[in-house]
C-alpha cells in the first residue's frame, strides 16, 4: 500500500486538483492522551500476548488469531485479506478440525456479536457465507459491489470477535469455553 494524497481546492472561479505520493516517508499515527488512556487496557492486554511463554491455551489461540488477521492486513488484494480473516475467525470459533468451518463460523459469529448495536445477525451470517463463497471461487471474476461490502463486513466482524476474545482473555481458558 502506497501512502498517497489527493488535494482538491474549489473556489468561486477556481478549481485545482492534484494527487501524488506523500513525501517524507509514510505518515505516522498520532493519538491524543485521552484516546491513549481509553486504549490503555486493550494495549496492556495485547502486550501480554507478545511472548507466548506462559500463555493459556486460549490466550495462545487469540495470539495466533491476531497474528493471522494482522498479516492479512498487509495484502493489497481484498481476497487475500479475506482469506487471512477467515483463517483468523476459524482459529477462534472452531472447537476442533472436524467441525464444518463455514457452518459453525456463520452460527457462532452472530451470537458473539449480538451486543453490537449496528449489526444484525442476518447480515453477519450473510457476510460469513459470502466470504467462504468468495474464497472458493476467487479466480472466476471481479467482485461485485455487494461482494466487496460482504467481504469488508466479514473482516470488520473478525476484528470485533478479536476484541471480544481480548476482553475475555483473563476469564476464559480454552476455545471450548469461549465458544
E-strand stretches of 79-178: none
Cβ-contact 7, 17 below 8 angstroms:
yes
Q: How do residues 43-95 score in pLDDT, each as one tens digit?
A: 888 888 888 888 889 999 999 999 999 999 888 888 899 999 999 999 999 99
User: Which residues make Cβ contacts (< 8 Å) with residue 66, sequence separation at least 6?
Assistant: 46, 49, 88, 162
Closest by Cα among 167, 78, 160 to 124? 160
Q: Over its length of 179 residues, how does the chain's per-residue pLDDT go in tens digits? A: 566 777 788 777 778 888 877 766 555 667 788 888 878 888 888 888 888 888 889 999 999 999 999 999 888 888 899 999 999 999 999 998 889 999 999 889 888 888 777 777 888 888 899 999 998 887 767 888 888 888 898 999 999 999 989 888 889 888 988 88
- Cβ atoms 50, 66 nearer than 8 A: no
Q: In the prediction, which pLDDT does 26 show? A: 53
- For residue 92, what pLDDT is reported? 93
pTM exceeding 0.85: no
C-alpha cell at 13: 472561479
Amino acid at each position: 500500500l502506497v501512502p498517497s494524497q489527493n488535494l482538491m481546492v474549489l473556489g468561486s472561479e477556481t478549481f485545482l486538483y492534484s494527487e501524488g505520493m506523500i513525501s517524507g516517508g509514510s505518515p505516522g499515527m498520532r493519538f491524543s492522551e485521552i484516546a491513549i488512556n481509553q486504549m490503555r487496557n486493550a494495549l496492556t492486554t495485547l502486550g501480554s500476548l507478545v511472548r507466548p511463554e506462559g500463555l493459556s491455551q486460549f490466550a495462545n489461540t487469540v495470539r495466533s488469531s491476531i497474528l493471522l488477521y494482522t498479516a492479512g492486513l498487509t495484502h493489497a488484494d481484498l481476497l487475500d485479506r479475506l482469506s487471512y480473516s477467515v483463517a483468523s475467525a476459524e482459529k477462534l470459533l472452531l472447537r476442533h478440525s472436524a467441525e464444518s468451518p463455514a457452518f459453525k463460523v456463520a452460527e457462532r459469529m452472530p451470537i458473539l456479536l449480538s451486543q453490537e448495536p449496528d449489526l444484525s445477525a442476518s447480515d453477519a451470517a450473510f457476510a460469513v457465507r459470502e466470504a467462504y463463497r468468495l474464497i472458493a471461487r476467487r479466480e472466476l471474476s471481479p467482485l461485485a459491489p455487494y461482494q466487496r461490502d460482504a467481504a469488508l463486513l466479514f473482516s470488520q466482524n473478525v476484528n470485533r470477535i478479536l476484541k471480544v476474545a481480548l476482553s475475555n482473555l483473563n476469564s476464559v481458558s480454552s476455545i471450548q469455553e469461549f465458544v
